[in-house]
Chain A
Amino acid sequence: MMVLFFALAAIAVAGAVSLIYQKEPIHSALSLIIVMVALAGLYLLLGAEFISAVQIIVYAGAIMVLFVFVIMLLNAGNEERTNFSRMAAYIGLPLAVILGAGLVYFVSRGSQEVANPDAVTGTTRPLAMMLFKDYVFPFELTSILILIAILGAVVLARREGD
């Protein structure tokens, strides 16, 4: 269990570093897919099978395909460096490192309790029960949100005069 966790965590962090390091957007997108697959494995370790499957199907499948599609459509190549990104390096990087170190420090000072072993397992059925009983109103609201997003995307990306 521990070995699996550290292997998946290493893959996820390596993918995230690669996302930042790569110059081509398409390579960054492929790195992000690696991170998402590793996170799906971590969800399995946490006993969240449904979320793990949704992570693969919706995130790694649909959303990242959308990203790759747009990158290819726009023929996005190497990004150019400018002076302002150097300013981000001098001010932004220390701030981000301080934030990350602080988060890690304070979180790791917390309790070392082992993840609740008798938590709900086989979560798809109880999850569906909760989603369609207690959270049915937010669920319906998200369907309206998706509808608005589809309309917005179509209206925005349409060519003038069509």
Chain B
Amino acid sequence: MRDFLRDNWFVVVIAVVIIGFVSYFIYDSTKYNVSGTTSDGEDVVASTNKGDVTADDLYDEMSASDSSLLYNLYRNEVVDQSIETTDDLQQDADDLKDQIDSTAEQQVSDYKSYLGQELAAYGYNGYDELDDYCLMSVKQKEMNRRYVKKHYDDLKKAVEDQNPRTISIIQISVSDPDNLTSDEQKKKDNIDSALSKQSFAKTATAYSEDSTASDEGVYGYVDGKTTESSSSSLDESVINAALDLKKGETSDWITVTDSDSGTSYLYKVHVDETDLNKIYKSKNDTIKDQVLNAFLTDNTGLEYTVVQSYAKKLDIKLSKSTKKKINAYIEEQKKGDDSSDEEN
């Protein structure tokens, strides 16, 4: 043995080092591994010396209010199995994923973990399934689009009742709206002068400081419910002015002061179109999406009706309690209680 160690001492040293390294690696990678335990045959999630919390306890507590999750699981499958994945839809899904990633990354440090937790409420198991969520979202939009196209005549009245229109805007920022500087006054006068000679679109392109200037000032679709929407980026006073105008009319100057930044802006708003049929057929992708959203918003619960409609074409089996919860959830959403709609 001594001779063997003398002859192979270097190999032995290397072996000891490797064994030490592997042992440390195993210890380090497993030191926070939790051990399983059971109580009356049930998996224990947390134990104390005065009682345990089992997986069944946890499930009972959490599933007491799981109707939205059950609906989402049901909706995800109905959408996925009803709409075929095309290259265009896949591209839209990829774009949506990039957008979600980029927004979340700016707002939350551990954004993948945060998104993973949020996705669970939508029926997706962690961040790795964000792709699936995005694909479902764009497929659901396509499903809604097809349904609205097919039932347009039945659904349009609710939208027409909301005074629909597409609008364009011109915006300039000013330091003090009550005391314009000479440059600001000159810019304002130039716009007034241009509007008397040329179209709103050309004037917006030439003078507006808003990002819509690159698209001839086109802001998009608004209606009577736009001011209630948190996604509207335009001040309520500008939208209300637009709703009071007829097709082709332009408003007077409207002063808006951002309450957060204190920055003031002057706006002109112009109504481009008020005929819903023409707006619906718009080739502008943003307007197409906005009109579709208007159909879904103005026809309360339409999104759920669409899912139910497509579900009828599939082979679906729901357990008794699942069916009861999903139906109750859909009924609740169709009543139009926006506050309980987690997806808004």
The answer on A and B forming one complex is no
Residues of B near any A CB (own CB < 8 A):
none
- Footprint of B on A, CB under 8 Å? none
